[in-house]
Amino acid sequence: MITTSITKLFKIKYPIVQGGMVWVSGYKLAAAVSNAGGLGLIGSGSMHPDVLREHIQKCKKSTDKPFGVNIPLLYPNIEEVMDIVVKEGVKIVFTSAGNPKLWTSFLKKHGIIVVHVVSSVKFALKAQETGVDAVVAEGFEAGGHNGREESTSFTLIPTVSEKLSIPVIAAGGIATGKGMLAAMVLGASGVQIGSRFAVCKESSAHVNFKNKVLEISEGDTVLTLKELAPVRMIKNEFYQKIAALKDRGKDIDSLRELLGKRRLKKGIFEGDLVEGMLEIGQVASMIDKIESAKEIVKEIINAYTKAKKSLLEN
C-alpha cells in the first residue's frame, strides 16, 4: 500500500489511475484496474448514453472497489450523461476537454468527487477555482488530445504542483515504476497511465492497434492537428496525409474535411492502421508486451518500490 492525498481521496490502495480512453476503456478495463488496487475509469467519450449506463452497471457488478467515469465536456449528449452518472451512483468523475465551470458544482452537489484534466498551470488554476478535488496535469508526451502550450511533464508537473493547493495527478510519459517515482519527486500525488493500459488484455482496442503500439519506436508518434485541436497519434498513412496537406499551407477547412468523422473508431476499435487515427502516447516506444491490468499494476508498484529503495541506498 502507498498512501498519498490521491489514495486517500479515492480510497484506493495505489496512486495509479488508468486514463479514461475512448474505444479502449470500457467496464472490463476499469474494473480490472480497480480490482488491482488502482482507479479504473470508464471512458464515456465513445459511448452512447445507453451504452455508458450498461458499462457502469457492469462495472459495479465486476468490482466492489472505487472506479470512475471520464466525461469529455464537449460530448453532445452531456446532460443525459451527467444524469446517468448521478442516477447510477457513480462516485468519481474525471472531466476533460471543456470548461470545468459548467458541471463541477452540479456533480459536487450530488456528492461526486470531481477531477479535471488540464495541460497548463493557467487551466489548472481555473479548474481549482471551480471546486474540483484534484487535477490531472497532462504533459506534451501524452497520447490523444493535448494542450497548445506543449509543456512537457518535466516542466508541467512541478509548476502545477507548486501553484495548486489541491492534489495533482501526473500524466504523459509515465508507464513504469521509475516514471511514477519521478512524477512524485516532481510534486505529483499520483499518476494517470494511459498507453500501457491501452494495450493490455482488458482494453477494448483492436488487436491490430495493440500490435502496432508494441512495434513503434521513438519518434513514431507526433502532436499534430494543432490548427484544430492538438492530438498525439502514430505517424501512419493517415498522418502522412495530414502532413502533406499542411505542407501546402494553412487550410483549416481541408484539414477538417480530411479528418472527417469516426477516424478514431476506425483506427483503435476496428483496427484500420492505414485510414484510422491511432492515438497513443510517446511512452508507447517503451511498451513491448500485452499484459493483464493486474500484472501491469503489480509490476509498476514493484518497480516503484525498488527504485525508491535503490535511491535511498545511494
Residue numbers of the site for a copy of itself (CB under 8 A)? 120-122, 139-141, 147-156, 158-159, 172-174, 176, 178-179, 181-187, 218-219, 222-223, 246-250, 282-283, 285-286, 307-308, 311-312
The Cα diameter of the chain in Å comes to: 58
Q: How far is the CB of 20 from a copy of itself (least distance, A)?
A: 21
Q: How far is the CB of 313 from a copy of itself (least distance, A)?
A: 10
Q: How far is the CB of 25 from a copy of itself (least distance, A)?
A: 22
Q: State the first-to-last Cα distance of the chain, in angstroms, to the nearest integer.
A: 24
Nearer to a copy of itself, 59 or 193 (CB): 193
Q: What angle do CA 294, 202, 4 make, to 5 degrees?
A: 40
Residue with grid cell 459536487, as numbered in its chain:
108
Q: How far is the CB of 95 from a copy of itself (least distance, A)?
A: 21
Asked if 171 and 136 count as a contact pair (C-beta separation under 8 A), the reply is: yes
Nearer to a copy of itself, 61 or 148 (CB): 148
Distance in angstroms (rounded) separating the CA atoms of residues 83 and 166: 26
Nearer to a copy of itself, 75 or 197 (CB): 197
Residue with grid cell 514493484, as numbered in its chain:
302
**Three-state DSSP state, 86:** helix
Q: How far is the CB of 292 from a copy of itself (least distance, A)?
A: 23
Distance in angstroms (rounded) separating the CA atoms of residues 19 and 16: 9
Distance in angstroms (rounded) separating the CA atoms of residues 216 and 83: 40
Nearer to a copy of itself, 77 or 154 (CB): 154
Nearer to a copy of itself, 151 or 203 (CB): 151
Q: How far is the CB of 179 from a copy of itself (least distance, A)?
A: 7
Q: How far is the CB of 301 from a copy of itself (least distance, A)?
A: 15
What is the helix (H) or strand (E) element at residue 200, kind and residue range?
none
Nearer to a copy of itself, 113 or 121 (CB): 121
Q: How far is the CB of 144 from a copy of itself (least distance, A)?
A: 16
Nearer to a copy of itself, 54 or 227 (CB): 227
Asked if 39 and 66 count as a contact pair (C-beta separation under 8 A), the reply is: yes
Nearer to a copy of itself, 90 or 181 (CB): 181
Nearer to a copy of itself, 69 or 199 (CB): 199
Mark out the alpha helices in the chain (DSSP H runs). 5-10, 27-35, 49-62, 78-87, 104-109, 121-129, 153-163, 177-185, 195-198, 207-215, 237-247, 252-259, 263-264, 293-313
Distance in angstroms (rounded) separating the CA atoms of residues 297 and 164: 28
Q: How far is the CB of 311 from a copy of itself (least distance, A)?
A: 6
- Count H helices, E strands: the chain? 14, 11
**Three-state DSSP state, 144:** strand
